[in-house]
Amino acid sequence: MNIPLKQYWDLLVDHLRVQKGYTTLLVLLLLGSISLQVFIPQLMRYFIDEAMAGDNGTVLVTVAIGFICLALVQQFVAVAATYVGENVAWRATNRLRAELAEHCLRLDMTFHNDISPGELIERIDGDVNELSMFFSRLVIMILGNILLLAAIVVVLFFEDWRLGIAFGLFAVSTIVALNRVRSIAVPHDKALRKANADLFGFLEERLTGTEDIRANGTVPFVIRGLYQLHAHILQCWRKAGNMHMVVRLVAGLTLMGGYTVAFLTGYRLYRDDLLTIGSVYLVLHYTGLMARPIRELTAQVESLQNIGAAIERLSDLRAFQPKIVDGPGAEIAGGPLALTFDNVSFGYVEDDLVLKNLSFGLEPGHVLGLLGRTGSGKTTITRLVFRLYDPTGGSITLNQTNVTQPTLHQLRHRVAMVTQDVQLFQASVRDNLTFFNRDIPDARILDVIEELGLGDWFGKLPDGLDTELETGGKSLSAGQAQLLAFARVFLHDPGLVILDEASSRLDPATGQLIERAIDRLLRNRTAIIVAHRLSTVQRADHIMILEDGGITEYGDRERLVSDPDSRFSGLLKTGLSEVLV
């Protein structure tokens, strides 16, 4: 497998274009450092030849002082080049990291279902770190070293054309050899990183489920899985390591070849009186000077291989495009919304429909209670309205406008969804409620908190709205988390509310708070409620019972209650236990 150099180049150009100033400075420093490295040994040669000729001491002392000064300057320039290079690299990688994180957040749920968060972290962090090496090392070392090699060959050519040709051939054959071996380790590195990403994904998932894992006594199974993943990593590691060894071996051999060329040509030219002893020194010194870029190039070839794999995975990731894209834009009017499903079908995977030809309508301000066994597709319906997925057939309209018409922002501004398990972030209460929207005044947030009966809870917070919540809302009860989710909805005042009620049991006091909050939530709004409690079901104007992806019953709730033959009245008699978990 060969990684096209063009890919590296495109990435480099793309990211350096935005920091032209620094890049120019970096190039200048590199060129300065290279020129000095090539020039300084010339002074040494002059010094040796002058000393051999037995010339006066003042010249020698001046040359020696010049040598020391230039050597110091060269060191300084090299340090500056590294500093600026790192700077350029960090800026470029931070930009890339931000770009990728944003890209991932925009991707569809289908993508996030397939790729675990652990794997994404490895992509955005691990692979991007690898790329930071690419930016700093490739520019400074690889390009710098290649330039240095070229400069040495040119200078040697002017010294004696035979030397120029010998060393030119040596440099080219080295680079060709390295380029050849470059690609053999890439697939192994890729496998290794994939194995690491799998481990991350595994750990992430298992640690999130600690409670369930312990409760079910599956700890030994988890550990066994961990061992298996580790064994796999070791295997990949060993293979990748072997490949790297081959690469290093090739570099070592070519270097030995270089010294052989230097000694042979130096000796012959000196013997034939074509070179002075100072010039022979120069040749040997240049060979040593070439050794470093070659050694570093090899090391860089190694990281270039890792980077090649990282670039490939990152461009794979960037190639994912969300299928759910903004519509051309259509304003959805204020106030409660009308909702219709027209012959809607949907499946998460092809040929396995979860919803089949669903049609129903909901007038503005009406509440639809969705009932059905677990897995019957209730949550799926809500996801389609919110455009987390698009239906495979049929259409969904809001106020007669297809939901694909407005932009996602316009749509999600008018539709709010409270999911079964509320996500709270490690951020202040304010940010958790407003989703970082600074336009919402504190007074409004406080009003909503008070209105939802969260006043007591809020009063106990040490820093009011600035109190930091823990990730996942660990310090909150399920009921409180639900109420906070309601508060979010109130703050953005949508015309359609989707409430996927949590099935967790609540204590009576919180239960009452939630009841009151739902009352307010539904006032003057259209709503779909996936109900798990009888009291919630009773708020619905219409009832829909789902089974096997289709509607088994749909109608006015009161009519269904009074119809002794309806499924719903039957369910009420059995305490709804069949459909409410």
Residues that bind Mg ion (CB under 5 A): 379
Q: Which lies closer to ligand ATP via its Cβ, residue 209 or residue 364?
A: 209
Query: Which residues form the interface with ligand ATP (CB under 6 A)?
Result: 113, 348, 354, 372, 374-380
Q: Is 492 exposed, middle or buried (0-12, 13-18, 19+ CB in 10 A)?
A: middle
Smallest gap from Cβ 376 to ligand ATP, in A, equals 4
DSSP class of residue 183 equals G
First to last CA, the chain: 53
532, 501 contact by CB (below 8 A): yes
Smallest gap from Cβ 350 to Mg ion, in A, equals 22
Residue 455 interaction partner, one of Mg ion, ligand ATP, none, beta carbon < 5-8 Å per kind: none
Q: Which lies closer to ligand ATP via its Cβ, residue 202 or residue 389?
A: 389
Q: Which lies closer to ligand ATP via its Cβ, residue 374 or residue 400?
A: 374
Residue 375 interaction partner, one of ligand ATP, Mg ion, none, beta carbon < 5-8 Å per kind: ligand ATP
Residue 163, C-beta contacts closer than 8 angstroms, at least 6 positions apart: 156, 157, 265, 269, 283
Classified as helix, coil or strand, 275 is coil
Smallest gap from Cβ 380 to Mg ion, in A, equals 8
Instruction: Kindly report the three-state secondary structure assignment for every residue of 41-92.
Output: HHHHHHHHHHHHCCCCHHHHHHHHHHHHHHHHHHHHHHHHHHHHHHHHHHHH
Smallest gap from Cβ 33 to ligand ATP, in A, equals 55
DSSP code per residue over 206-274: HHHTHHHHHHTT-HHHHHHHHHHHHHHHHHHHHHHHHHHHHHHHHHHHHHHHHHHHHHHHHHHHHHTTS
Residue 132 interaction partner, one of Mg ion, ligand ATP, none, beta carbon < 5-8 Å per kind: none
Residue 113 interaction partner, one of ligand ATP, Mg ion, none, beta carbon < 5-8 Å per kind: ligand ATP
Residue 116 interaction partner, one of ligand ATP, Mg ion, none, beta carbon < 5-8 Å per kind: none
Residue 406 interaction partner, one of Mg ion, ligand ATP, none, beta carbon < 5-8 Å per kind: none
**297-331 core/surface letters (b: 16 or more CB in 10 A; e: else):** bbbbbbbbbbbbbbbbbbeebeebeeeeeebeebe
Q: Which lies closer to ligand ATP via its Cβ, residue 291 or residue 324?
A: 324
- Rounded Cα distance between 547 and 356, Å, is 10
Q: Which lies closer to Mg ion via its Cβ, residue 185 or residue 544?
A: 544
Smallest gap from Cβ 519 to ligand ATP, in A, equals 23
Q: Which lies closer to ligand ATP via its Cβ, residue 116 or residue 379?
A: 379
What type of residue is 394? G
Smallest gap from Cβ 491 to ligand ATP, in A, equals 26
Question: In the bound complex, which residue of the shown chain has the CB atom lying closest to Mg ion?
Answer: 379
Tokens at 39, concatenated:
């020039």
Residue 448 interaction partner, one of ligand ATP, Mg ion, none, beta carbon < 5-8 Å per kind: none
Q: Which lies closer to Mg ion via its Cβ, residue 26 or residue 580?
A: 580
Smallest gap from Cβ 576 to ligand ATP, in A, equals 13
